[in-house]
Amino acid sequence: MPHLFVLAIAFLFPFFFLVVKLLKKQLIHGGYTLPSGKIKSNQIYFGKFSLSFFFAFSWSQPRTVNHPPCLPSEALPIYSNENLRALKHRTPLFLPSYSAVRFYFFFIRFIQLYQTMADTDPFLPKSSSDGSYPTGSQATRRSPIKEQLTIFFGLLAVGLFAALLIGKNGSYNAHVQENKHGSLATSTTKKPETLGPVSRGPAAGVSEKSNRLSAKVDGNLLVYPWNNSMLSWQRTAFHFQPEKNWMNDPNGPLFYKGWYHFFYQYNPNAAVWGDIVWGHAVSRDMIHWLHLPLAMVADQWYDVNGVWTGSATILPDGKVVMLYTGSTAEAVQVQNLAYPANPNDPLLINWVKYPGNPVLVPPPGIDKMDFRDPTTAWLTSEGKWRITIGSKINKTGIALIYDTTDFINYERLDGALHAVSGTGMWECVDFFPVSKTEENGLETSVNGPGVKHVVKASLDDDRHDYYAIGTYHEKNGTWIPDQPEIDVGIGIRYDYGIFYAAKTFYDQNKNRRVLWGWIGESDSEAADVQKGWASLQSIPRTILFDNKTGTHLLQWPVEETESLRLKSNEFNQVTLQAGTVVPLDVGSATQLDIMAEFVIDKEALEKATGSNETFSCGTSGGAAERGALGPFGLLALADESLSEKTPVYFYIAKGSDGNLKTFFCNDQSRSSAASDVNKLIYGSFVPVLEGENLSLRMLVDHSIIESFAQGGRTVITSRVYPTKAIYGAAKVFLFNNATEASVTASLKIWQMNSAFIRPYPNDGKF
């Protein structure tokens, strides 16, 4: 804003001229001696004063991008209209506080100078111990007119600077907006307090990738004034995420030649969805990660609009093949083949795309934008490889099924692996076996007695991952759920919080099946752009068949997570009377691993009156709504005053028939003072069997909380964005908000170390 600088100089110049002239005259007659014995020039003193004003003035102004209104939008190809909306809210994080500091510094300097000017003999030499002065020229008194002019222009400069600070978002802050005709024009706004919702993904043929927040006025989002300290705290310490920018679906995880490989959907250019390529990282333990160069980029006609989700298959000879979805320039979703350029490279840095891609295109009857996300292949008894791909027909979600012998030529089987009416598009389909008798994972091709199969789908319509357990019939390539009432898309979910596009792989290194899931943000896109990154991955989880219920899977953080545990605190047999909150002294509660067990008073269970009312975590008022037998649990990421807190809790509902039903919930309604974050209440029913106490494991890692109830039968992942309960102010409490029952709790809480997640070193040493 050059005009503002010119204006400032115009006001400052006479002030500077008069003072310099005055100082020049005074310095002819002498100076004053500092304690060190050196002579300090008053011109230097005033120079610092002037520089303070200059930097305070210049750095206080907002950085906006303004274009001449005469230019049409096509003349500005680098800025899309969506980007311009985001840019108008982007100012460096340090500006408000920095401006205040600079203004304070400037004002103090001015007062000091004024006091010096007001002194009756401001430039007299220091007197000796006997009260006499050294010989030499005597200082003369300042001209009253010059003194008044100096003070006048100084006060004028202060007033100008204060006015500019107050109006920095006012009349001089012109933001680029899109008018009703679609062209770009500048318009003057007072303050960017709201932000309209932006959709990302559906137009390109994938699920919605932006967070559609609910805290809106007239359809616009109320923007919270996040500062750098708050946003820096949100970055996690031991969950996988790239160094910057956007990430979503996990892709092609595998263990190869001593390394765990993780590929993921990544935007290398921004903290929003778009320009999707494959990021790549490797690890020895799935905790500490090394970032590698991009594995695959959108450089071919069949994936020019995005290198989308895919899966890896390890062949019997140890070779790796990767199938992935590409989006063409016409937004047709096609399946492509890729493989390592050097199979002997344990890091699999370079990949080759098959020259004959695509290997599969949408079949007749399937829309061009409803054919994506091939699974890991499994072997049939005939020696063929079989895969399934997500799709839909009208509102019926389906998993198409194909056979191949070489991953180049495919035969589609009649019908589908499975279909469920009313569930919409199935994304990121997964299919794998689980053992009914062993506590080990199974390789994807295993079938036979003692084996059940899981079908999982990510529903485009609601962005949740659903699974069901059933029986796979290899001959006709179909799968039948054990209980149709909890079929895929209408029954059990992997996670009842923020968790999507999950993918499993068989870890032959430790004979286990490992689950990855994308954890998106629940704040505003403007905040993500401001902090420079968005999304992370869940802690990898082992996944087993729960043979006690027969309906659920058990998810649990991989054992390597425990290597991050530091000092621990134990709290045994803590009695929580109805309506009490108990602080737990563990220090900072930003990075924790918590194991807790709760025992509710049996007498209260028997005396509680049954009810026909139906309880639901999401609609029953959260942790503030009291019942006879709950809620009770933990308050995570809470400040001392409990003005911010995230309750993770159990609630026991007693039916009119006397039966008990337990719910596991996460209440974000009071998790943050910010307006531009989702504050939902998550949760679901959790099976509790005869003789079991209520158990909970919670991983707290800055802005993410992963909670596992009853050994992982029910899991909730939430993103939390407190404004007060951060750094050392983050605390954890026990609470019991029941009206009748007392609860006894026993806990062990570990502080958690940070994982090493960094670029791969040039010398190749890990």
For 277, the enclosing helix (H) or strand (E) is strand 277-283
Instruction: Report pLDDT for 765.
Output: 57
CB 113 within 8 A of CB 45: yes
CB 694 within 8 A of CB 688: yes
Instruction: Report pLDDT for 161.
Output: 55
User: How many Cβ atoms sit within 10 Å of the Cβ of residue 174?
Assistant: 17
C-alpha pair distances (Å), 360 with each of 332, 412, 578, 584: 11, 10, 61, 57
Q: Which domains does the chain have, with CATH numbers?
A: 247-557 (2.115.10.20), 565-752 (2.60.120.560)
Instruction: Report pLDDT for 614.
Output: 87
Instruction: Report pLDDT for 222.
Output: 77
State the amino acid at position 435 in one-letter form: S
Q: What are 633-666's pLDDT values in tens digits?
A: 999 999 999 999 999 999 999 998 889 999 999 9
Instruction: Report pLDDT for 223.
Output: 84
Buried b (16+ CB within 10 A) or exposed e, 663-672: bbbbbbebbb
Instruction: Report pLDDT for 91.
Output: 36
- Could you give the CA distance from residue 371 to residue 366 in angstroms, rounded to a whole number? 7
Instruction: Report pLDDT for 92.
Output: 38
Instruction: Report pLDDT for 264.
Output: 98
Instruction: Report pLDDT for 345.
Output: 97
- What the block records as the tokens of 19 is 């003072």
Instruction: Report pLDDT for 183.
Output: 29
* Region label for 476, one of left (φ > 0), alpha (ψ between -120 and 50) or beta (otherwise): alpha
Instruction: Report pLDDT for 502.
Output: 98
State the amino acid at position 479 in one-letter form: W
State the amino acid at position 51 in one-letter form: L
CA 99 to chain centroid, in Å, comes to 29
- Could you give the CA distance from residue 279 to residue 201 in angstroms, rounded to a whole number? 19
CB 747 within 8 A of CB 588: no
User: 386 φ, ψ to 5°?
Assistant: -125, 135
Which of 362, 375, 248, 235 shows the shortest CA–CA distance to 310?
A: 375
Question: For 766, how many CA atoms within 13 A lie in the half-sphere containing its CB?
Answer: 15
* CB contact set of 254 (below 8 Å; sequence gap of 6+): 260, 261, 312, 314, 320, 505
User: 533 φ, ψ to 5°?
Assistant: -155, 160
Instruction: Report pLDDT for 760.
Output: 86
Instruction: Report pLDDT for 102.
Output: 46
* 478-481/464-473 β-pairing: antiparallel
Task: List 561's β-bridge partners, or say none.
Answer: none
Those residues of the chain that have pLDDT short of 70 are: 1-199, 201-221, 763-766
- pTM for this structure? 0.75
- Could you give the CA distance from residue 597 to residue 604 in angstroms, rounded to a whole number? 18
Q: What is the DSSP string of 629-646?
A: TB-EEEEEEE-TTSSS-E
Q: Please tell me whether residue 107 adopts helix, strand or coil conformation.
A: helix
Residues designated catalytic: 249
Q: The tokens 């058990």 sit on which residue? A: 554
- What the block records as the tokens of 699 is 């991983």
- Could you give the CA distance from residue 698 to residue 700 in angstroms, rounded to a whole number? 6
Q: The tokens 């609009």 sit on which residue? A: 305
Buried b (16+ CB within 10 A) or exposed e, 731-758: bbbbbbbbebbbbbbebebbbbeebebe
- Could you give the CA distance from residue 257 to residue 345 in angstroms, rounded to a whole number? 8
Instruction: Report pLDDT for 468.
Output: 98
